């Protein structure tokens, strides 16, 4: 009965072709059609008849590849189909397996024997199917178990099978390093094959091996050299060039040797792909070979003037590889690069932009930036932002190394903010603040630019510009003394459209208003004091505030902040209330003829003190300078911390700490200056912190007298305690334009980056290392073998050895302990072998 059912299934089963036709005719929508087809497949695939099953599997494979249907559930059926004696079924089965199996597939173990059987098949096409399968899904176990078969096929007389066996070696080596010992010798022998197909395959494998670990292929350099000189097959030559590019990077002497044949190919070949590969090899790895480099640059030039956009793009790409070492090559082609900026191909444009930025130096930076800003105005949003980003990063590189005229640069930043497509607000924000902190001489211009940004109501509507505005607001508060007209600044900060800002930025606006107010009051009071007016420093350009103007200012602020004291955002509300409270305190006394003792004057002086310290940049390594005390475990996770001391933890949140700590500092300062006024802060938290500090003083950064951090608002720009030791002031370099010397840029110790780059995880790349070790061992064996000149015997011995080993392993699976100890000893011997110097042939010298 069941068999008659399956017959019906078989006769009326829809083939893959029917399924595909159905897709084109279906009326019920694609997903409905797919789910109907899937239902059908699920039924058909369970049938015992292999034809029906394989057709169902074929349909499923199709749906999985093109329509994203999950087929992992059919893994076992794929194993069934692959075991069919019929070639067609086998093909379908293998296709399903290569497409859907991975390391986690549980039935993977079941295919080993089938794959072995097919590898041994006399039918080369069956063997080819099995090889394809192994090359795609080979796991460690499969690679280990099938190494002997792969070894046999490497010597097959049929090219069709042998080239695929060579291809599969890559996967086998990668998954099972010990296979190198077995197969490497045969692989190398294939390098001498006269068959172009075999040669192409084996060179391809070595190219991959050299990419993973160049040093392991170095001893084979003579063989590759021979191919480089003799071969006329472009595919092979391209791969050999790739290998030499890798080898030359670790063995500089090779460069001299291979430069000549590479030049020869460059001159001779008409194939653009080969010429380009030669060029790339020369510019990336042989750039110290002058003649070769000259020829390569000439070839690049030919590419650049071609009409084919592909060649133009690749030419520019090659130029960008040369640029860091040999800028002259780019400068020679300056016109082409600039022209390429307006190319219609986005790739070409981008590549041209990178090249242009590589050419930037302190003399031409303003010209190039001007050109680019013009392009940015005309370009599409993506390219526009790429331009802005490149200019920003080129100019800020290495603490604004190439910027001499900061007034110009700051105006440029202001211009960028006004480009309609600009979305790089955060980067500009960072640079505005950063320049403020680093370059003292640029502050007046910075304040001017900020004021222009703040007073433009149009900018408030653009979401991407909000970060810039927040920086501008901070700058005009922090450096209020440079403001031409504080009254206008305050007006700009309080304009009605600031309602469009998010609360966090709004809070910065209010804080800046506060700072400006304090500054104005300060100069108002100090102007009235006869003694300190002589001390009124050079900075106070707006020295004399009349009583009316101060009153006016206070009124404007009160008017502007009044509504905000009822806002829902706590931060904004609190800050608004702070300012209003401060105004309330001093308001009465402004009008009186003040003496030094007046409350208002003292409070103002105190606030001025709070705001007066400069913020400086923080070194990226500041934290590292604090040495880790003994017994402090930093790497342990703190997951269970909450359990242990949940309640205790709650009040000590991170930003609160910084908040109160800085307040504490204020108090310290006050105590030092024996001021009678007490700060109005919550006692309990601060007291416990003080206690904490006493007990664990070593974890706190040392507070110095000139502690720059006393600004409570700016959590974004944290402590810079270690600064004093680290600041190294750039010396003036003689400039071509002595009329305008470059201002001092505060720069922290360089080498920050290189240090962090140098630290690589020693664990990483372990896999590759052991593979390369295996290859090196194999090479040592090979060289010894050559000496003995008993190659035939050797290879057969290896086969015997490995097959013996396999058998042994199978037996020993039960005795685990013994086996692992054996493994260990083997590993040790391997290590010993690699410590032997790898022999570099005379050829190199």
Partner 1 sequence: MIKAVMMMNTQGKPRLAKFYDFLPVEKQQELIRGVFSVLCSRPENVSNFLEIDSLFGPDSRLVYKHYATLYFVLVFDGSENELAMLDLIQVLVETLDKCFSNVCELDIVFNYSKMHTVLDEIVFGGQVLETSSAEVIRAVEEISKLEAASNAISLVPNSVSGWRGR
- Footprint of partner 1 on 251-310 (CB under 8 A): 272-273, 276-277, 309-310
* Residue 102 is a binding residue for partner 1 (CB under 8 A): yes
Nearer CB in complex with partner 1: 41/473: 41
CB 656 within 8 A of CB 685: yes
Among 93, 127, 154, 204, binds partner 1 (CB under 8 A): 204
Helices 766-788 and 196-212 cross at an angle (nearest 10°) of 130
* Residue 520 is a binding residue for partner 1 (CB under 8 A): no
d(CA 460, CA 477): 18
d(CA 717, CA 608): 19
**Residues in CB range of 50: below 8 A, 6 or more apart:** 80, 81, 84, 86, 89
d(CA 70, CA 65): 9
* Residue 743 is a binding residue for partner 1 (CB under 8 A): no
Nearer CB in complex with partner 1: 345/558: 345
User: How far apart are CB 81 and partner 1 at their closest, in Å?
Assistant: 13
* Residue 58 is a binding residue for partner 1 (CB under 8 A): yes
> Of 163-171, 503-511, 620-628, 797-805, which part binds partner 1 (CB under 8 A)?
163-171
Burial of 300 (0-12, 13-18, 19+ CB in 10 A): buried
Among 111, 201, 319, 779, binds partner 1 (CB under 8 A): 201
Binding mask 14-43 for partner 1 (x = CB under 8 A): --xx--xx----------------------
Among 71, 356, 391, 723, binds partner 1 (CB under 8 A): 71
Among 10, 112, 215, 539, binds partner 1 (CB under 8 A): 10
User: How far apart are CB 345 and partner 1 at their closest, in Å?
Assistant: 4
> Of 341-349, 436-444, 689-697, 801-809, which part binds partner 1 (CB under 8 A)?
341-349
Among 114, 147, 190, 200, binds partner 1 (CB under 8 A): 200
* Residue 68 is a binding residue for partner 1 (CB under 8 A): yes
Nearer CB in complex with partner 1: 91/185: 91
* Residue 344 is a binding residue for partner 1 (CB under 8 A): yes
d(CA 643, CA 651): 15
Task: Return the SS3 of 747.
Answer: strand
> Of 194-202, 258-266, 385-393, 397-405, which part binds partner 1 (CB under 8 A)?
194-202
Among 77, 144, 164, 326, binds partner 1 (CB under 8 A): 164
d(CA 809, CA 604): 85
Distance of CA 835 to the CA centre of its chain: 35
CB 75 within 8 A of CB 101: yes
User: How far apart are CB 141 and partner 1 at their closest, in Å?
Assistant: 16
Q: Work out whether the CA dihedral 350, 352, 357, 358 comes out positive or negative.
A: positive
* Residue 346 is a binding residue for partner 1 (CB under 8 A): yes
d(CA 417, CA 420): 8
User: How far apart are CB 19 and partner 1 at their closest, in Å?
Assistant: 10
Please give the structure tokens belonging to residue 210. 């050299």
Nearer CB in complex with partner 1: 163/466: 163
Size of the site for partner 1 (CB under 8 A): 75
**Residues in CB range of 454: below 8 A, 6 or more apart:** 469, 472, 473, 476, 489, 492, 493
* Residue 226 is a binding residue for partner 1 (CB under 8 A): no
* Residue 315 is a binding residue for partner 1 (CB under 8 A): no
* Residue 69 is a binding residue for partner 1 (CB under 8 A): yes
Nearest to 773 by CA among 209, 203, 148, 139: 209
User: How far apart are CB 477 and partner 1 at their closest, in Å?
Assistant: 39
Residues 439-498 that bind partner 1 (CB under 8 A): none
* Residue 76 is a binding residue for partner 1 (CB under 8 A): no
> Of 82-90, 642-650, 703-711, 814-822, which part binds partner 1 (CB under 8 A)?
82-90
d(CA 740, CA 94): 74
**Residues in CB range of 479: below 8 A, 6 or more apart:** 436, 443, 446, 447
Among 163, 424, 515, 663, binds partner 1 (CB under 8 A): 163
Show the CA angle centred on residue 40, arms to residues 95 and 22, nearest 5°. 80
Nearer CB in complex with partner 1: 163/424: 163
* Residue 48 is a binding residue for partner 1 (CB under 8 A): yes
Among 347, 495, 567, 703, binds partner 1 (CB under 8 A): 347
* Residue 211 is a binding residue for partner 1 (CB under 8 A): yes
**Residues in CB range of 626: below 8 A, 6 or more apart:** 701
Nearer CB in complex with partner 1: 345/571: 345
User: How far apart are CB 709 and partner 1 at their closest, in Å?
Assistant: 39
User: How far apart are CB 89 and partner 1 at their closest, in Å?
Assistant: 8
Please give the structure tokens belonging to residue 834. 């690699």
User: How far apart are CB 247 and partner 1 at their closest, in Å?
Assistant: 14
Query: Which residue's structure tokens are 């007389």?
Result: 157
d(CA 74, CA 101): 10
* Residue 51 is a binding residue for partner 1 (CB under 8 A): yes
- Residue-by-residue DSSP string for 132-174: HHHHHH--HHHHHHHHHHHHHHHT-S-HHHHHHHHHHHHHHHH
Distance of CA 543 to the CA centre of its chain: 50
Q: CA separation (Å) from 281 to 215, 231, 321, 504, 701? A: 18, 17, 10, 52, 51
User: How far apart are CB 665 and partner 1 at their closest, in Å?
Assistant: 45
Burial of 206 (0-12, 13-18, 19+ CB in 10 A): buried
- Residue-by-residue DSSP string for 3-68: HHHHHHHHHH---HHHHHHHHHH--S-HHHHHHHHHHHHHHHTTSS-HHHHHHHHHHHHHHHHHH-
* Residue 661 is a binding residue for partner 1 (CB under 8 A): no
User: How far apart are CB 91 and partner 1 at their closest, in Å?
Assistant: 7
Nearer CB in complex with partner 1: 89/438: 89
CB 575 within 8 A of CB 493: no
User: How far apart are CB 305 and partner 1 at their closest, in Å?
Assistant: 15
Among 40, 110, 156, 235, binds partner 1 (CB under 8 A): 235
* Residue 242 is a binding residue for partner 1 (CB under 8 A): yes
Among 26, 34, 38, 49, binds partner 1 (CB under 8 A): 49
> Of 178-186, 198-206, 729-737, 789-797, which part binds partner 1 (CB under 8 A)?
198-206
d(CA 399, CA 413): 16
Nearer CB in complex with partner 1: 248/746: 248
* Residue 796 is a binding residue for partner 1 (CB under 8 A): no
Nearer CB in complex with partner 1: 276/487: 276
- Residue-by-residue DSSP string for 321-373: HHTTT-HHHHHHTHHHHHHHTT-S-HHHHHHHHHHHHHT--TTTHHHHHHHHH
Nearer CB in complex with partner 1: 21/43: 21
Nearer CB in complex with partner 1: 18/367: 18
* Residue 86 is a binding residue for partner 1 (CB under 8 A): yes
Binding mask 119-158 for partner 1 (x = CB under 8 A): ----x-x-----xx--xxx---------------------
* Residue 207 is a binding residue for partner 1 (CB under 8 A): yes
CB 241 within 8 A of CB 262: yes
* Residue 171 is a binding residue for partner 1 (CB under 8 A): yes
Among 234, 320, 431, 476, binds partner 1 (CB under 8 A): 234
């Amino acid at each position: 009965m069941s068999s008659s059912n399956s017959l019906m299934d078989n006769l009326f089963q829809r083939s893959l072709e029917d399924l595909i036709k159905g897709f084109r005719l279906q009326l019920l929508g694609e997903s409905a059609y797919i789910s109907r087809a899937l239902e059908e497949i699920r039924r058909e695939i369970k049938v015992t008849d292999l034809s029906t099953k394989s057709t169902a599997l074929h349909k499923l494979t199709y749906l999985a590849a093109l329509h994203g249907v999950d087929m992992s559930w059919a893994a076992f059926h794929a194993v069934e189909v692959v075991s069919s004696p019929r070639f067609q079924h086998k093909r379908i089965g293998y296709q399903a397996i290569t497409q859907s199996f991975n390391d986690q597939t549980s039935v993977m173990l079941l295919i080993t024997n089938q794959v072995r059987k097919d590898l041994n098949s006399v039918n080369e096409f069956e063997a080819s199917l099995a090889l394809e399968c192994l090359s795609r899904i080979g796991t460690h176990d499969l690679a280990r178990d099938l190494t002997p078969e792969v070894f046999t096929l490497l010597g097959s007389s049929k090219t069709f099978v042998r080239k695929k066996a060579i291809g599969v070696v890559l996967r086998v080596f990668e998954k099972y390093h010990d296979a190198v010992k077995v197969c490497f010798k045969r692989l190398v022998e294939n390098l001498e094959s006269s068959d172009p197909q075999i040669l192409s395959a084996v060179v391809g494998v070595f190219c991959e091996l050299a990419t993973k670990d160049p040093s392991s292929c170095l001893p084979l350099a003579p063989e590759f050299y021979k191919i480089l000189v003799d071969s006329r097959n472009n595919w092979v030559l391209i791969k050999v060039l790739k290998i030499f590019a890798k080898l030359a990077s670790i063995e500089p002497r090779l460069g001299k040797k291979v430069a000549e044949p590479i030049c020869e190919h460059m001159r001779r070949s008409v194939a653009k792909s080969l010429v380009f590969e030669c060029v790339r090899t020369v510019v990336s790895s042989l750039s110290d070979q002058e003649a070769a480099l000259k020829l390569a640059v000439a070839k690049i030039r030919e590419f650049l003037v071609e009409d084919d956009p592909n060649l133009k793009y690749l030419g520019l790409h090659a130029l960008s590889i040369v640029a860091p070492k040999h800028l002259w090559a780019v400068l020679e082609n300056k016109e082409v690069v600039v022209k390429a900026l307006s190319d219609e191909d986005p790739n070409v444009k981008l590549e041209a932009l990178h090249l242009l930025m590589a050419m930037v130096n302190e003399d031409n930076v303003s010209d190039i930036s001007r050109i680019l800003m013009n392009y940015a105005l005309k370009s599409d949003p993506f390219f526009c932002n790429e331009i802005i980003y490149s200019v920003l990063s080129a100019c800020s590189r290495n603490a604004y190394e190439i910027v001499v005229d900061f007034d110009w640069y700051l105006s440029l930043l202001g211009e960028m903010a006004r480009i309609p497509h600009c979305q790089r607000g955060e980067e500009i924000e960072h640079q505005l603040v950063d320049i403020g902190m680093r370059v003292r001489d640029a502050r007046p211009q910075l304040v001017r630019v900020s004021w222009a940004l703040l007073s433009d109501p149009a900018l408030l509507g653009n979401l991407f510009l909000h970060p810039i505005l927040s920086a501008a607001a901070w700058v005009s508060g922090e450096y209020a003394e440079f403001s031409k007209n504080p009254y206008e600044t305050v007006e700009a900060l309080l304009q009605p459209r600031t309602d469009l800002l998010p609360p966090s930025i709004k809070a910065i606006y209010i804080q800046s208003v506060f700072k400006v107010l304090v500054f104005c009051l300060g100069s108002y009071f100090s102007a009235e004091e006869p003694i300190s007016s002589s001390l009124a420093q050079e900075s106070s350009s707006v020295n004399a505030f009349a009583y009316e103007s101060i009153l006016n200012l206070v009124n404007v602020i009160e008017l502007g902040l009044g509504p905000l004291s009822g806002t829902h955002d706590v931060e904004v509300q609190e800050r608004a209330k702070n300012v209003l409270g401060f105004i309330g305190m001093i308001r009465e006394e402004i009008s009186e003829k003040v003496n030094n003792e007046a409350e208002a004057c003292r409070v103002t002086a105190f606030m001025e003190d709070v705001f007066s310290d400069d913020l400086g940049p923080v070194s990226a390594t500041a934290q590292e300078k604090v040495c880790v005390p003994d017994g402090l475990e930093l790497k342990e996770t703190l997951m269970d911390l909450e359990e242990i001391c949940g309640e205790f933890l709650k009040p000590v949140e991170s930003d609160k700490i910084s908040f109160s700590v800085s307040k504490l500092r204020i108090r310290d300062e006050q105590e030092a200056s024996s001021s009678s006024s007490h700060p109005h802060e919550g006692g309990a938290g601060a007291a416990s912190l003080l206690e904490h500090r006493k007990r664990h003083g070593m974890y706190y950064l040392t507070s110095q007298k000139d502690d720059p951090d006393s600004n409570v608002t700016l959590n974004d720009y944290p402590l810079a305690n270690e600064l004093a030791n680290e600041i190294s002031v750039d010396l003036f370099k003689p400039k071509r334009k002595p009329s305008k010397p470059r201002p001092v840029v505060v720069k922290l110790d360089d080498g920050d980056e290189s240090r962090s780059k140098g630290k690589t995880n020693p664990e990483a790349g372990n896999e590759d290392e052991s593979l390369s070790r295996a290859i090196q061992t194999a090479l040592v064996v090979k060289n010894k073998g050559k000496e003995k000149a008993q190659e035939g015997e050797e290879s057969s011995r290896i086969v015997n050895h490995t097959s013996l080993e396999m058998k042994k392993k199978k037996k020993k699976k039960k005795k685990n302990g013994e086996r692992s100890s054996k493994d260990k000893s083997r590993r040790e011997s391997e290590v010993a072998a690699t410590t032997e110097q790898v022999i570099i042939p005379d050829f190199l010298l």
